[in-house]
Structure 1
Amino acid sequence: MNIPAVLGAAGIITLAALAQATTGFGFSLLAVPLLSLTAGPVDAVVGSSVLAVLLNAVAVTRDHTEVRWRTARTVLLAGVAGLPFGLLALILLPARVLTMLIAVCVLGGTVAIWRGLRIRAGRTAMATAGFLSGVLTTATGVNGPPMAAAFTAMGLPPRQFRATLAAVFVVVGPIGVAGFVLAGRFTTDSLIIAAAGLPAVAAGWWAGDRLFGRLTDPARFRTVVLCGLTAASVTTLLRAAFA
């Protein structure tokens, strides 16, 4: 990656971390499709996955008393089982197809969050959502929507929602990263993204945390973020389709 690409990646990650801190979602949904336009889909997935582990670790540390551990264990086991299937897709799919898959997953996840998609709560539903999230973790890096739908169906309060989601991903994420290493997908560019992203994540989280305290209309800002996610996914999809 050249210097402009590195600076662009840092800017994307800062924006994604800001969105995550302000709204509670959006890091992978925003970072992966935009990074795939500059660094390629595999490096985007691997590099952003490393940074997502850091964000989730911070969230769990701050709100560990709010984690629903019984629920987390159920979805965690299913999520770990899904990781190898997603890694297989990452290895076998051509770059163009993988880019389109990322864009479709981001667009679908954005619509699901926007429309407040719910699934029927229960152990089977939790396990299914966990497995699907595990597959998406290593295939596309966009793993939040299935779990968001499941936890919404359970009616978890916002703080428990965020903390339990982070508790699952803070375990699934490092296992996924280890899978990338074993599969030889941890390239120089993905390391550069992760290294450039560390200060960018800190800056984005700091700005987003302060912005959140000053928002007079959080719902309007959430709509702006969702519009941005839609635009990012559509742009990525069109670029992959007509490249």
Structure 2
Amino acid sequence: MDGLVFVVFALAALVGGFVSGFSGFAMGLVVSGVWLHIISPMQTASLIAGYGLLTQGYGIFKLRKSLDLRRAWPLALGTVIGIPIGVGILSYLNPAYLRLGVGVLLMVYSIYGLARPVFAPIKIGTRADIAIGISNGLLGGLTGLGGVISTISCQWRGWPKDVQRAVFQPVLFVAFVVISLSQIAAGTITKDTAKLYALGVPFMVVGLWSGFRLFGKIDDETFRKTVLALLLFAGVSLIASTLPSLR
């Protein structure tokens, strides 16, 4: 990797870390848009999973006072169940149409949420949370967006921003553990990828730190809108990446 390519790689890691520190998710969305142009898709997937463990672990540590595993475990359990099912189903579906459909739904939901007042809080039970977690894992296995549904469900409950992140970040951490273990078992993590990971860690950490500092200065409504904006970005990204394959 020459100097210019490394600068681009490092800047993407810095911005991805900042977005994750600020919002608690979407690091993979940010970095993949850049890294897929300069490193292989396999390396990109491995790095996103590896850095996901770092970013979500950091978030869990910072929010440890708000952590409530009673709220997080049903979503996490469902996610663990759903990921391999989603991966298995993927071989029987056309991923292009699936990504397009999910992208459109995310755009509609986000635009609607941004255009109207705060949603009325919804009370969700344990069984429903497990089902939501399974859907979350299914979507992760099918599209790579392993935390979208759990993040949305935390918004529905009307929790403060710290509580939301203290629930959906452990779920994301568990998802990245499952993905990383799968990659290790498949032998897709190479020495070159491990070296890239080590080179990018300082930039990712600086981004995380600065993003989390800004998170501490915003109110719940700003956080709600930020999450919706990132979900809108996720929808647009899915659609943009799918359209070329439909032509």
Global fold match (TM > 0.5) = yes
Farther-moved stretch of structure 1 (173-182 vs 185-194): 185-194
- For 1:25 and 1:60, locate their aligned partners in 2 and report how far apart those are by CA, in whole Å: 12
Cα distance, 1:165–1:200 mapped onto 2, change above 3 Å: same
* Residue equivalent to 2:56: 56
Question: 234, 237, 241: which one pairs with 2:242?
Answer: 237
* Residue equivalent to 1:14: 14
- For 2:5 and 2:139, locate their aligned partners in 1 and report how far apart those are by CA, in whole Å: 26
- Counterpart of 2:133 in structure 1: which amino acid? G
Farther-moved stretch of structure 1 (167-176 vs 117-126): 117-126
Q: Is the 8 A contact 1:99 1:240 kept in 2?
A: yes
* Residue equivalent to 2:204: 201
Question: Which stretches in structure 2 are left out of the alignment for 5+ residues?
Answer: none
- Counterpart of 1:122 in structure 2: which amino acid? G
- Counterpart of 1:199 in structure 2: which amino acid? P
Q: Is the 8 A contact 2:49 2:176 kept in 1?
A: yes
Q: Is the 8 A contact 1:47 1:190 kept in 2?
A: yes
Query: Are residue 184 (structure 1) and residue 187 (structure 2) matched?
Result: yes
- For 1:109 and 1:190, locate their aligned partners in 2 and report how far apart those are by CA, in whole Å: 31
Q: Is the 8 A contact 1:16 1:28 kept in 2?
A: yes
Q: Could you report, residue by residue, the CA deviation over 1:55-85 in whole angstroms, capped at 9, with x for unpaired residues?
A: 1111111222312312212122211112323
Q: Is the 8 A contact 1:6 1:192 kept in 2?
A: no
Q: Is the 8 A contact 1:6 1:193 kept in 2?
A: no
* Superposition TM-score, scaled by structure 1 size: 0.75
| Percent of aligned pairs with the same amino acid | 21
- Counterpart of 1:75 in structure 2: which amino acid? L
Q: Secondary structure at the match of 2:152?
A: helix
Q: Secondary structure at the match of 2:145?
A: coil
Instruction: Supply the RMSD in Å over aligned alpha carbons.
Output: 3.9
Q: Is the 8 A contact 2:111 2:232 kept in 1?
A: no
- For 2:152 and 2:230, locate their aligned partners in 1 and report how far apart those are by CA, in whole Å: 18
Q: Is the 8 A contact 1:20 1:205 kept in 2?
A: yes
Offset, 1:163: 0.9
Q: Which structure shows the bigger proportion of residues in helix conformation?
A: 1
Cα distance, 1:41–1:85 mapped onto 2, change above 3 Å: farther
Offset, 1:238: 4.4
* Superposition TM-score, scaled by structure 2 size: 0.74
- For 1:58 and 1:11, locate their aligned partners in 2 and report how far apart those are by CA, in whole Å: 20
Q: Is the 8 A contact 2:53 2:173 kept in 1?
A: yes
Cα distance, 1:221–1:151 mapped onto 2, change above 3 Å: closer
Q: Is the 8 A contact 2:82 2:137 kept in 1?
A: yes
Q: Secondary structure at the match of 1:65?
A: coil
Query: Are residue 46 (structure 1) and residue 49 (structure 2) matched?
Result: no
Question: Which stretches in structure 1 are left out of the alignment for 5+ residues?
Answer: none
- For 2:200 and 2:100, locate their aligned partners in 1 and report how far apart those are by CA, in whole Å: 21
Question: 125, 128, 136: which one pairs with 1:125?
Answer: 128
Higher Cα radius of gyration:
2
- For 1:194 and 1:108, locate their aligned partners in 2 and report how far apart those are by CA, in whole Å: 33
Q: Is the 8 A contact 1:48 1:194 kept in 2?
A: no
